[in-house]
Amino acid sequence: MTAALIGFAALLVLVFLRLPIAIAMGVVGYVGFAALIGWNWNAALNMAAHRLVDTAQDYGLSVLPLFILMGTFVSRAGLSSELYAASNAFLGHRRGGLSMATIVACGGFSAICGSSLATAATMAKVAMPSMRRYGYADDLASASIAAGGTLGILIPPSVILVIYGLLTETSIRELFAAGFLPGLLGVLFYMAAVRFVVWRRPEKGPRAERTDWPGRWRALRGVWGTVLLFVVVMGGIYVGAFTPTEAAGIGAAGAFVIALARRSLSWPVLLDILSDAARTTASLFVVLIGALIFSNFVNRAGLPDALRDLVTAASLSPMVVIGMILLVYIVLGCVFESLSMLLLTVPIFFPLVQQLGFDLVWFGIVVVVVTEISLITPPVGLNVFVLSGVLRDVRTGTIFRGVTPFWCVDILRLTVLVLVPAVSLWLPAFLYR
Amino acid sequence: MSEAREPGGVAPAWTRAVDRALKLLEVASAVVLLALMALTCIDVAGRELANAPLNGATELTRLALAALVFCALPVASWRDQHIVVDLLDNVFPRALVGWRQLVVNLIAAAALTAVAVRAWKFAGRSVEYGDVTEYLHLPVAPIVYLIASLSALTALLMALNGIRSAMGYPPPPRSADV
């Protein structure tokens, strides 16, 4: 226990000195592991090097680059504009309707893209100009993109859920099924937040023109590519036609074909997309390898057992423990980047959660929703930063101000998901168990 | 995010030479990723449509994955795309940023060198034992040599990155990750 705590403190110091988080976890894991086995540097280095060589060749991990590639293709193919046009045709005439349409379109885009930052950045380019044209307040407009974008990691496919599944050895297809309803709930709650904002201050989200039914059908026809991609990829996993890994390959190829058909590819663009996805994969892999080395050390140091003993000794009820873990996440979420937070904490918490008798699929969804919240929590909300990078003339403070109602409904959604596990577990149970 | 000098300013000639040399690895990683995608599709299509799965697809996928990750890693490292906690960036004394980056990158380089050397030994051992893959009987050693040497290259580039920062040049602009 003491060794693990010293290790954790050293890790925090190193990452705050801006050592890449992968290296920090790897180095602390290596030194700590050596210390625990009687300063046997040789055996510890063997452990670390084996992790490096084996993880890079782990078949199950090939799902990562392929889903990342799929997301990069669909982001460049411009599918977001049709999604936005379609949801706009149905919602735009309401007060705050363009914001609601943004959220629905973000939800739709999340169904083919596993990354929150990519979802926010892509939607910003199509949704922001049109909300500006109709005189939407900057804070509401940008916040609905930032919040809607967080759905990217919850609605399957999701890169974060894949990483959680790999760390905890939980079924990825069950995690994907479990993320679906909480994602829809997120869309509804965000729309309610928009309603609340325009109810208080109607001038923030004026009405746009109503689209007639023929126009709506025309707009819907524009999103067939997105729908087809989602149905093939997720449907293929759900009916068991292929594994998540294979689905990722099919999805990437489908997105490639869509991008080709829309003439959004040239040789330089293709190279750029592939290399971008490859580099993202590499930086994720080293973090994953670092996290695995670190969790070797943490487990060897007996931290999960010590935590369990602590909980037993204090005779806390399991729900109180979950509440405390979530509180830790929300606090960490203020300062940590989402993926780092997940990788640092999941190896420590999941054995405890499992021993308390909770479902790891359910815990995965809860953790991802907390991660979503951290993406829009000041002072370090990555989605907000990405957005202010894309929308140069909107200040970070403006977006954070607008995000407040969305943050509140997120906390509400988290409470619902924690208290009613069925929202997450019904679909995977219905499909697979 | 920009530090002492703006990107696009006069970068020393050697950093531009590194940029050009890394283009090769960048293209390699792109080609492998495309191949990985095609491999998965051919495997699934063969199995579902023609009832003829690709022999040894799993093994090829594993090799492609390792090649992809380690071809892209030097490029990502040179462009400073590692995931970092940049919370203290605004309070950290600006004058010391270059030196901090030097120290941090040298630590990373040392760690990567250590595992690269050890992985190289693993590869040597599998040559000795004549290890081959289960299905296609491909030798195991080459991919481990590739992992070891590209990790070592990454270590070298991170050390150079540290030197570049200490000289006051920011790395090329990074793109958004996950």
- Cross-strand partners of B132: B139
Taking only the tens place, the pLDDT of each residue in A388-404 is 888 888 888 899 999 99
Buried b (16+ CB within 10 A) or exposed e, A296-319: bbbbbbebbeebbeebeeeeeeee
Q: What's residue A166's pLDDT? A: 86
pLDDT tier at B9, thresholds 50, 70, 90: low
Q: Would the pLDDT of A405 be above 50? A: yes
Q: What does the pLDDT average to over A251-275?
A: 92
CB B54 within 8 A of CB B43: yes
Contact A21 B36 (CB under 8 A): no
Q: Which residue has the higher pLDDT, A180 or B12?
A: A180
pLDDT above 70 coverage of chain A, percent: 100
- B35/B63 Cα distance (integer angstroms): 11
Most B CBs within 10 A among A11, A50, A69, A283, hence the mutation to make, goes to A283
- A347/A335 Cα distance (integer angstroms): 19
Label each residue of chain B as H, E or C. CCCCCCCCCCCCHHHHHHHHHHHHHHHHHHHHHHHHHHHHHHHHHHHHHCCCCCCCHHHHHHHHHHHHHHHHHHHHHHCCCCCCCCHHHHCCCHHHHHHHHHHHHHHHHHHHHHHHHHHHHHHHHHHHHCCECCCCCCECHHHHHHHHHHHHHHHHHHHHHHHHHHCCCCCCCCCCCC
pLDDT tier at B172, thresholds 50, 70, 90: low
Q: Is B85 left (phi over 0), alpha (psi -120 to 50) or beta?
A: beta
pLDDT tier at B171, thresholds 50, 70, 90: low
Q: What's residue A54's pLDDT? A: 93
The C-alpha of A140 sits at a distance from chain B's nearest C-alpha, in angstroms, of 23
- B13/A49 Cα distance (integer angstroms): 35
- At A359 the three-state DSSP class reads coil
CB atoms < 10 A from the CB of A102, how many? 34
HSE-CB of A327 using CA atoms within 13 angstroms: 6
Contact A19 B48 (CB under 8 A): no
Which residues in chain A touch residue B120, judged by CB atoms under 8 angstroms apart?
Answer: none
Q: Is the dihedral of CA B70, B71, B76, B78 positive or negative?
A: positive
Give the DSSP H or E segment for A21: helix A21-36
Does the CB of B111 have a partner CB in chain A at under 8 Å? yes
The answer to whether the peptide bond before residue A244 is cis (omega within 30 degrees of 0) is no
Which residues in chain A touch residue B69, judged by CB atoms under 8 angstroms apart?
Answer: 56, 65, 281-282, 285
CB B152 within 8 A of CB B113: yes
Q: What does the pLDDT average to over B104-112?
A: 96
Q: Is the dihedral of CA A187, A104, A69, A247 positive or negative?
A: positive
Q: Average pLDDT of chain A? A: 91
Q: What's residue B8's pLDDT? A: 47
Lowest mean pLDDT among A88-102, A314-328, B107-121: A314-328
Contact A62 B82 (CB under 8 A): no
CB A337 within 8 A of CB B85: yes
- A391/A123 Cα distance (integer angstroms): 11
- Residue indicated by tokens 């931290």: A303
pLDDT tier at B124, thresholds 50, 70, 90: very high
Q: Which residue has the higher pLDDT, B79 or A188?
A: A188
pLDDT tier at A282, thresholds 50, 70, 90: very high
Which residues in chain B touch residue A50, judged by CB atoms under 8 angstroms apart?
Answer: 122
The pTM of this model reads 0.89
Taking only the tens place, the pLDDT of each residue in A7-62 is 989 998 998 888 998 999 999 999 999 999 999 999 999 999 999 999 999 988 89
Taking only the tens place, the pLDDT of each residue in A205-235 is 999 989 999 999 999 988 988 999 999 998 8
Contact B122 A27 (CB under 8 A): no
Q: What does the pLDDT average to over B93-111?
A: 92
- Tokens coding A320: 């109180």
Q: What does the pLDDT average to over A76-81?
A: 87
Q: Which residue has the higher pLDDT, A52 or B93?
A: A52
CB A35 within 8 A of CB A332: no
Q: What's residue A367's pLDDT? A: 94
- Cross-strand partners of B139: B132
- B48/A250 Cα distance (integer angstroms): 13
- CA-CA-CA-CA dihedral for A151, A153, A156, A162, to nearest 10: -170
- B170/B172 Cα distance (integer angstroms): 7
**Biggest distance spanned by C-alpha atoms of chain B:** 65
Distances (CA, A) of A395 to A206, A385, A398, B38: 22, 9, 5, 43
Q: What's residue A270's pLDDT? A: 95
Contact B118 A45 (CB under 8 A): yes
pLDDT tier at A427, thresholds 50, 70, 90: very high
Taking only the tens place, the pLDDT of each residue in B41-69 is 999 888 888 877 778 888 999 999 999 99
ipTM of the assembly?
Answer: 0.90
Taking only the tens place, the pLDDT of each residue in A375-385 is 898 877 888 88
> In whole angstroms, how large is the CA radius of gyration of chain A?
22
Q: What share of chain A is helix, strand, coil (3-state, %, to 5)?
A: 80, 0, 20
Q: Which residue has the higher pLDDT, B170 or B133?
A: B133
DSSP string, A185-228: HHHHHHHHHHHHHHHH-GGGS---PPPPHHHHHHHHHTTHHHHH
By Cβ distance, the residue of B61, B85, B122 closest to A16 is B85
The C-alpha of A408 sits at a distance from chain B's nearest C-alpha, in angstroms, of 24
Q: What's residue B175's pLDDT? A: 44
Taking only the tens place, the pLDDT of each residue in B142-161 is 999 999 999 999 999 999 99
The C-alpha of A415 sits at a distance from chain B's nearest C-alpha, in angstroms, of 26
- A356/A319 Cα distance (integer angstroms): 9
Contact B44 A249 (CB under 8 A): yes
Taking only the tens place, the pLDDT of each residue in A130-176 is 999 999 999 999 999 999 999 999 999 998 999 999 888 899 999 99
- A245/A234 Cα distance (integer angstroms): 12
Label each residue of A89-157 as H, E or C. HHHCCCCCHHHHHHHHHHHHHHCCCCCHHHHHHHHHHHHHHHHHHCCCCHHHHHHHHHHHHHHHHCCCC
What distance lies between CA A400 and its chain's CA centroid?
A: 19
Q: Which residue has the higher pLDDT, A178 or A263?
A: A178
By Cβ distance, the residue of B33, B44, B103 closest to A274 is B33
Most A CBs within 10 A among B27, B40, B133, B174, hence the mutation to make, goes to B40
Q: Which of B5, B172, B142, B133 lies closest to B66 in space, CA to CA?
A: B142
Q: What does the pLDDT average to over A341-353?
A: 86
Contact A23 B178 (CB under 8 A): no
Q: What's residue B10's pLDDT? A: 61
Contact B40 A241 (CB under 8 A): no
Q: What does the pLDDT average to over B110-114?
A: 97
